[in-house]
Amino acid sequence: MGLRRITVGVAAVLAGVGGLAAVPAVAGAAGPTTSLTGVTMTAVATHPGTYQLSFTVHQTFGTPALLAVAVPGATFPTDPTTIDITCTPSCAKAPSPSASVWRSTGTVQPTQSGASSIVLNLFASTAFTGSFAPGETLSMNLHLTTPPAAKGDVPVSVAVESAPGAVVAAGSGHLTVAATTTPTLATATVAPTVTPDVVGYPAAGWKVSVSGLHQDGTRTDLVTVYAPGATFPTSGYAVATCVYGTTTEQACPTVTVSVTPGTTGLPGTAAVLKVTTGNLATSGRDPVTGFTVAVPGVANATGAAAGSLPVVVGSSGTATAAPGTATLDQLRATGTATVTLGGPPTVALTSTTIPNFPANVVVGQSATFGVTLANTTDFTWPDNGATVAFALTGLPGLTPGQVGLVCTTEGTPSAKWTFSFTAGASGLTSNPVTVPLTSKATLRADCTLSAAANAPLGALTVTATLTDTTTTPALVLSTATSQLAVTPVPTTGYTLGASDGGIFTYGTAQFFGSMGGKPLNQPVVGMTTTPDGKGYWLVASDGGIFSFGDAKFFGSMGGKPLNKPIVGMAATADGNGYWLVASDGGIFSFGDAAFHGSAGSLTLRAPIVGMTANRDGNGYWLVASDGGIFTYGNATFFGSTGSLRLKAPMVGMAATPDGNGYWLVAADGGIFTFGDATFSGSAGALTLNKPVVGMLATSDGGGYWLVASDGGVFTYGDAQFYGSAGALPLVKPVVGMA
């Protein structure tokens, strides 16, 4: 089999065939000196829209020569075309680089209505000086933009001219047009490979090689490479090698690479790598049968597991369709390569010294947890190229001032990461802190999360986010989430206060001093402790305040005229303020205790006997001796006994930890619950030595203590008994507990 390479400009072709009539090269000629026999035109199964034309010549002819082909009702491409022609058994003086194929340039005959014919320039004077010999068979692939509309046998006319109107040989045959003209899917398959076969993020160097391509020279092929679950970079690709025919070349002038971010139609991918293999009509080269592309990286943010890397080969402009979704004319071949997509650097809420995430953080205290940044890739991020930030969600009412977070890296030297929070629609978010990500290295840090004494109680979700800031937009590499409970200070003891200022402590409650044995202007009527339990205040009926331990003095009503005596007090959650309440409902606030309103100007049916504050300090409840409830600030009304007939008057109250309920206690030990306050029992049916004067709820709201004026203590629910003053000879009666 011989081969010749013919390259002729389009202008020369048009000049040589300008006078062709409707039947190529036949009109106006004296007739061919010999015929072309065995003319057939059949569809090429592996190339939709492509048809193979074959015929045998019976006379020697050389340059110049024009080949005119006409298929009535068909449409040839309108752009210049490069055609590969095979000659059997041989063609004289076949030029390099191949010994079996040569090329001819051609154009659609411009005078033919419907563009149903094409004219090829078989020889170029500078490229071929030989001739075709009798008995040789020529075959070539021609592309039809549209096949004939008619079905069955369609005539095909072929003529060879030495010059316009000078027919050397002519012949005719037929093209069988099937009833269904949809081309079949290419039976050829491409064979992709990936090196290395483990592709991590950002994978500073890997290659995709594709072989087994078949190009007919009439199309610009797009070879699409994508990885489900991965995102390809938008630039930085290079074509490493190309295979033209069977020859591997380092220079690849006809192969280019581009990336289409956000391409749709490909499952689980956000970018498509498209390799354009070029149009052979303008390249003058053998078909591209393979290539290798160097890929700068792949962002595998979703952490896809090992899987296949699909490769799709399609005609020009159509290769962005996924296998099974494109038309048969669009997909010409597919292939897959097995590849493992390695995950990006990760963040986890654990460390060497703190392997487990804490179950809770107590208000007014702190809890510790670990953070681990693991980079299994071979890439070291540049300075300021990666950050860690935190989000705190799920706890309504949490404010930036109620939390703090500081992390210190393990090892030497250590670094400190300080986070501050801002409020958002779904919770609190921190500032991002720059962190180092070194190739195949792990960085661990120990973090301290603090909660203010007035922080709301409940479940808090902590989310750490590791972000790559070298990309635009920044890419989230990994997140880690865990949950802890914000809980109150556990109640493992209690303090009783007597009207002479005497103090009695039980359990873990500590004694920090008292007014017992000291002269008072007026008797003590109430008390409360600091948030950490390391101090307490006493209040007298004239508004005098006595502070002990870490309880600070912020002011008092002592020595000031009052309309009615003080009957109780409550402290703010951070211990930096307190409220006093008088029997007429008047409220007096000190320190950071905010005034939210009072009942001082109301006409009350019964006097106020006590108060309790919401944990966040933004509201409080007052209770009257008839069980009437008065709410201020964000304190919610859940019910009262104001309309009930009581056996004994109310003497105190306590709120649940979340502020969504409260208990009322009567002098006979009766308990009344509202909201989410749970009834755990009462002393209402007991014969008491002395009346009940106050109550205290456990930190989790699962129980409560009652105290009588003789110092007797009654426990209910999960409240533990730590002792009482019931058997002691008291100088003055007990008036409250905390």
> Is residue 540 domain-shared with residue 400, that is, in the same domain?
no
DSSP secondary structure letter of residue 401: G
166-177 vs 34-35, strand pairing mode: parallel
Residue 540 lies in a domain: yes
Q: How many domains does the chain have?
A: 4
- For 421: left if phi > 0, alpha if psi spans -120 to 50, otherwise beta; the answer is beta
Name the pLDDT band for 25 (thresholds 50, 70, 90).
very low
Residue 245 lies in a domain: yes
| List of residues 6+ apart from 85 with CB closer than 8 A | 101, 102, 103, 104, 122, 138, 139, 140
> Is residue 361 domain-shared with residue 336, that is, in the same domain?
no
Q: Which two tokens stand for residue 45?
A: 């199964």
- Residue 126 is predicted with a pLDDT of 42
Greater confidence (103 vs 168) lies with: 168
Name the pLDDT band for 60 (thresholds 50, 70, 90).
confident
| List of residues 6+ apart from 217 with CB closer than 8 A | 81, 82, 83, 84, 103, 141, 279, 280, 281, 287
Adjacent-strand bridge partners of 371: 445
Mean pLDDT within 508-521: 95
Which of 108, 100, 32 shows the shortest CA–CA distance to 75? Answer: 108
Residue 398 has pLDDT above 80, yes or no: yes
| List of residues 6+ apart from 479 with CB closer than 8 A | 347, 463, 464, 465, 466
- Residue 337 is predicted with a pLDDT of 67
- Residue 315 is predicted with a pLDDT of 37
Place of tokens 């030990």: 669
- Residue 435 is predicted with a pLDDT of 96
Q: What is the mean pLDDT of the chain?
A: 77
> Is residue 483 domain-shared with residue 505, that is, in the same domain?
no
Q: Which of 268-282, 369-383, 435-449, 553-567 has the lowest mean pLDDT?
A: 268-282
Residue 198 has pLDDT above 60, yes or no: no
Residue 643 one-letter amino acid: S
CA contacts within 13 A on the Cβ side of 29: 24
Greater confidence (199 vs 206) lies with: 206
Name the pLDDT band for 371 (thresholds 50, 70, 90).
very high
DSSP secondary structure letter of residue 15: H
Mean pLDDT within 404-409: 97
Adjacent-strand bridge partners of 83: 104
Q: What would the pLDDT profile of 657-688 be if each residue is shown by its tens digit?
A: 889 999 999 999 999 999 999 999 999 999 99
- Residue 96 is predicted with a pLDDT of 37
Residue 5 lies in a domain: no
- Residue 440 is predicted with a pLDDT of 84
Which of 41, 246, 236 shows the shortest CA–CA distance to 138? Answer: 41
Residue 129 lies in a domain: yes
Place of tokens 């008839």: 626
Pairwise CA distance, residues 334 & 265, whole Å: 16
Pairwise CA distance, residues 94 & 100, whole Å: 8
Give 28-87 as a 3 state SS string.
CCCCCCEECEEEEEEECCCCCCEEEEEEECCCCEECCCEEEEECCCCECCCCCEEEEEEE
Q: What would the pLDDT profile of 625-664 be if each residue is shown by its tens digit?
A: 999 999 999 999 999 998 899 999 999 999 998 899 999 9
Asked if 622 and 630 count as a contact pair (C-beta separation under 8 A), the reply is: yes
Name the pLDDT band for 194 (thresholds 50, 70, 90).
low
Mean pLDDT within 138-163: 75
Pairwise CA distance, residues 497 & 738, whole Å: 8
Residue 643 lies in a domain: yes
Place of tokens 């659609």: 108
| Number of CB atoms found within 10 A of residue 354's CB | 19
Greater confidence (281 vs 464) lies with: 464
> Is residue 281 domain-shared with residue 251, that is, in the same domain?
yes
Q: What are phi and psi of 114, to 5 degrees?
A: 80, 5
Secondary structure class of 113 (helix, strand, coil) = helix
Residue 183 lies in a domain: no
Residue 476 has pLDDT above 60, yes or no: yes
Which of 203, 225, 332 shows the shortest CA–CA distance to 275? Answer: 225
Place of tokens 């309920």: 661
Concatenating the DSSP letter of every residue in 196-233 gives SSEE-SS-S-EEEEEE-----SSS--EEEE--TT-B--
Q: Which of 196-200, 326-330, 501-505, 506-510 has the lowest mean pLDDT?
A: 326-330
> Is residue 369 domain-shared with residue 469, that is, in the same domain?
yes
Name the pLDDT band for 53 (thresholds 50, 70, 90).
confident
Q: Within its chain, how far is the Cα of 372 from the centroid?
A: 20
Residue 74 lies in a domain: yes
Q: Which of 84-88, 160-164, 649-653 has the lowest mean pLDDT?
A: 84-88
Mean pLDDT within 61-87: 70
> Is residue 514 domain-shared with residue 645, that is, in the same domain?
yes
> Is residue 311 domain-shared with residue 362, that is, in the same domain?
no
Asked if 407 and 447 count as a contact pair (C-beta separation under 8 A), the reply is: yes
Which of 140, 69, 52 shows the shortest CA–CA distance to 108? Answer: 69
Q: Which of 145-154, 417-426, 463-472 has the lowest mean pLDDT?
A: 145-154
| Number of CB atoms found within 10 A of residue 418's CB | 12
Final residue of a domain: which of 469, 487, 505?
487
What proportion of the chain, given as a percentage, has pLDDT over 90? Answer: 44
Q: Which residue range(s) make up the domain with 271?
A: 191-341
Final residue of a domain: which of 448, 468, 487?
487
> Is residue 159 domain-shared with residue 203, that is, in the same domain?
no
Mean pLDDT within 594-602: 96
Q: Tell me the CATH number at 260.
A: 2.60.40
> Is residue 305 domain-shared with residue 202, that is, in the same domain?
yes
Spatial strand order in the sheet of 493-498: 503-507, 493-498, 734-737
- Residue 3 is predicted with a pLDDT of 27
- Residue 27 is predicted with a pLDDT of 32
CA contacts within 13 A on the Cβ side of 70: 22
> Is residue 611 domain-shared with residue 666, that is, in the same domain?
yes
Q: Which of 139-153, 433-447, 470-484 has the lowest mean pLDDT?
A: 139-153
Mean pLDDT within 449-475: 88
Q: Tell me the CATH number at 545.
A: 2.130.10.10
Place of tokens 């989410």: 676
Name the pLDDT band for 88 (thresholds 50, 70, 90).
confident
Final residue of a domain: which of 341, 368, 396?
341
Residue 719 host element (H or E): none
Pairwise CA distance, residues 559 & 561, whole Å: 7
Pairwise CA distance, residues 716 & 144, whole Å: 93
Residue 454 host element (H or E): none
Cα distances (angstroms) measured from residue 697 to each of 275, 538, 707, 718: 73, 19, 12, 10
Pairwise CA distance, residues 426 & 472, whole Å: 25
> Is residue 653 domain-shared with residue 694, that is, in the same domain?
yes
| Number of CB atoms found within 10 A of residue 152's CB | 11
Which of 666, 733, 659 shows the shortest CA–CA distance to 706? Answer: 666
Pairwise CA distance, residues 684 & 503, whole Å: 26
Mean pLDDT within 382-401: 93
| Number of CB atoms found within 10 A of residue 251's CB | 9
Name the pLDDT band for 12 (thresholds 50, 70, 90).
very low
Residue 141 has pLDDT above 50, yes or no: yes
Q: Tell me the CATH number at 414.
A: 2.60.40.3670
* Residue-level length of the chain: 738
Place of tokens 């008036």: 735
> Is residue 250 domain-shared with residue 327, that is, in the same domain?
yes
Residue 625 lies in a domain: yes
Q: What would the pLDDT profile of 284-339 be if each residue is shown by its tens digit?
A: 566 677 777 776 665 544 444 444 455 544 433 343 344 333 333 344 556 666 66
Sign of CA dihedral 88, 92, 95, 99: positive
- Residue 227 is predicted with a pLDDT of 59
Name the pLDDT band for 225 (thresholds 50, 70, 90).
low
Concatenating the DSSP letter of every residue in 166-199 gives EEEEEEEEEEEEPS--PPPPP----EEEEESSEE
Residue 579 has pLDDT above 90, yes or no: yes
pTM for the predicted model, two decimal places? 0.55
- Residue 94 is predicted with a pLDDT of 43
